[in-house]
A and B are shown apart, each in its own frame.
Chain A
Amino acid sequence: MKKLHSIFLAIIAYLALAMPAQAQEVAASLDARVNEIFANATGWFVNFIFMAIPGTSFPWIVMWLVIGATVFTIYFAAVQFRFFGHAVSLVKGDYSDPNDAGEVSHFQALATALSGTVGLGNIAGVAVAVGIGGPGATFWMILAGLLGMASKFTECTLGVKYRNEYPDGTVSGGPMYYISKGFDELGLPGGKILAVMFSIFCILGALGGGNMFQANQAHAQITQITGDFPGWITGLVFAAVVFLVIVGGIKSIAKVTEKIVPFMGILYVGAAIVVLIVNYDMIGWAFGQIFAGAFTGLGVAGGFVGALIQGFKRAAFSNEAGVGSAAIAHSAVKTKEPITEGFVSLLEPLIDTVVICTMTALVIIISQQLIIDEATGLYMLNDAGTAIATVGDTGGVALTSAAFGSAISWFPFVLAIAVILFAFSTMISWSYYGLKAWTYLFGEGKTTELIFKIIFCIFIVIGAAASLGPVIDFSDAAIFAMAVVNIFCLYFLMKVVRKELNSYASRLKSGEIKKFKH
């Protein structure tokens, strides 16, 4: 453990020394240098996580996630559909004891977890999926979202069941706690080691997808409006604000964001619906493209397997089902029945992926930003052959922005604000997830917490300066590495969840669990 600590300290020291030396160079070359160092340093890790299954072009990690979600769906007999209505009742507070008023409600736990996942994955990630995998990626994304509901259910139930409740009334929960405590309870060896592995990947995930990817895409969005300028400037500003919140304890900034973000989410879906209504005659065609593309590929890079990989990848990245992050966010809820939080959490992939991501995909398809070869009806590839050619040669968040802009001219400005706020709120959420993993490894304490928070802020600058390719690869790899450990452990722990589920279901049926009158 000590050794790990010193490795992280060495990284900070290196960064601190490297920064001033590079600052003397021209601003643009600083970006290039950060980019190069970063790509070199993380390449091996990315390659390992995305290694293809021998003889195919299919990354094993994608298969891992899909098999996990499918196993949980079958093992719990489609819990995501059987208990969907009950989940909605729980969120509405129908089963909440009035004497518990003032504690964290199911709604609040869901909203907090959602504000960590709804964000760039839904806006930029979907554009990446559709841009590379074609409209067909949407089909696989929705399927992954529906299956992922069962993964989320499993991990969030365990998150509440095995959380730590401290004498001062605060709580800490998440995969690192359910892995170590759950394995001990079942008499299985290796719980502690797996929990430590998860924590390490969680810290990397917090720095990657929860931080660098956010900073990177926020910068891309800002330059769309202001014109090009070096990324590290955006990075410094973001880092300063995040620093104020997580180190300076200026909660008001986070509070304001937490209140604006849900409205931005509603505004975003509202705008997407407007675009769909305006182009209502094309909705049928768009769904046709999605279904046709799901099985034939319509000429995109990698064919239909490419669509499938992109769809699953981006769904997992967006809703984080099986990754374990939501279990950290959900574990604070006040409930006597851990399983109820599992039911509530299964709504997350539905809202995040099946609703919001699909909206983004439909808008991109309908706005016809993806160029179709009129002669063949297939999508044309860009010059490099890596993605579908787009009208303004855009990708990522810029593609979504252009798609909305083609229907509502002023919307890119709203989207820019939304992206910045989403990025910010995701960073705040992930700084907490990362911190929980960090304190699990190094213990709770002011100094150890401060070290993590400073590292977190430094990575914001790196993320904003690096180019999209290496950042997105590293972000995906780190978050998927969390899922490797988490899903492996869930296979052992899922019988605990089934026991809870059976007991709860029978008490619900017998009327022992009643609604409180309102």
Chain B
Amino acid sequence: MKLVIGLDGHGSGEKALEFAKSIASHSETCELIVVYVIEWSPFSFQTAEENAQRHKRREEEIAVAMERVVDPAVTSLKEAGLSARAIVRHGDVADTIDEIAHAEGASQIVVARSSAGGLTSRLFGSSTANLVMNARVPVTVVA
């Protein structure tokens, strides 16, 4: 069994992690894939200078995500005696988590309830809501 855990770097991710742990502990061969998506669009507009530095920035963004969010999560899962690995990728959060879950053949996606509020999520919906509506793999939203 494979489980994809989508983290967004907020405190609520802890709950998703705990929930995934409890599912995994019932199965002997469960692999946990911790996914962190850096919000990014190939269709955004940038200055020439930003473009020139883009590769460098991308590496920095991935390093920061690894260090602050993904590595601690993977470590805590491994400490609990589970098999876990990490994926950090740029893209649309909902699409990318679904893409990875589909490609990995995961049986379930676990995410936390959306922590973002305010006007943008009202207008465009949160990433969690988008994921629930469009995912090709069953999604569990942890409250």
Contacts and interface: CB of A to CB of B under 8 A. Distances in A.
Interface stretch (B45-53, B77-85, B117-125, B128-136): B45-53
- Max chain A C-beta neighbours (<10 A), residue from B44, B45, B53, B90: B45
Contacts of B91: 98, 101-102
A90 to B, nearest CB: 11
B54 A104 contact: yes
A242 interface: no
A112 interface: yes
B28 interface: no
Contacts of A168: 56
Contact of B48 (A98, A106, A429): A429
Contact of B42 (A108, A169, A332): A108
A429 B40 contact: no
- Max chain A C-beta neighbours (<10 A), residue from B54, B56, B99: B54
A255 B46 CA distance: 7
B56 A170 contact: yes
Interface string A424-437: 00001100110000
Contacts of A105: 42-43
Nearest to B55: A169
Interface in A147-175: 168-172
Contact of A328 (B48, B89, B99): B48
A217 interface: no
Contacts of A76: none
Nearest to A261: B45
A101 B48 contact: no
Contacts of B89: 98-99, 101-102
- Max chain B C-beta neighbours (<10 A), residue from A170, A261, A428: A170
Interface residues of B, number: 26
B103 to A, nearest CB: 9
A192 interface: no
A255 B47 contact: yes
A96 B41 CA distance: 13
Interface string A238-268: 0000000000000100110011011000000
B58 interface: yes
A424 to B, nearest CB: 12
B51 A107 contact: no
Interface string A78-107: 000000000000000100101101111111
A115 interface: yes
Interface in B94-128: 96, 99
Contacts of B42: 93, 96, 101, 105-108
A111 interface: yes
A102 B61 contact: yes
Contact of B55 (A93, A101, A170, A259): A170
B90 A101 contact: yes
Contacts of A333: 51
Contacts of A258: 45-47
A170 B45 contact: no
B49 A432 contact: yes
A11 B76 CA distance: 63
B38 interface: yes
B46 to A, nearest CB: 5
Nearest to A429: B48
B45 A102 contact: no
Contact of A102 (B38, B47, B52, B99): B38
A262 B44 CA distance: 10
A273 B61 CA distance: 42
A181 interface: no
A112 B62 CA distance: 24
A103 B45 contact: no
Interface of A: 93, 96, 98-99, 101-109, 111-112, 115-116, 168-172, 251, 254-255, 258-259, 261-262, 328-329, 332-334, 428-429, 432-433
Interface of B: 38, 40, 42-56, 58-59, 61-62, 89-91, 96, 99
Lowest 7 A-B CB distances belong to which pairs?
Answer: A102-B90, A169-B56, A105-B42, A332-B51, A101-B90, A102-B58, A432-B48
29 contacts: A96-B42, A101-B42, A101-B89, A101-B91, A102-B89, A103-B58, A104-B51, A104-B55, A108-B42, A108-B46, A112-B47, A112-B48, A112-B51, A115-B45, A169-B56, A169-B59, A170-B56, A171-B52, A251-B50, A255-B47, A258-B47, A259-B45, A261-B45, A262-B45, A328-B48, A332-B54, A432-B48, A432-B52, A433-B48
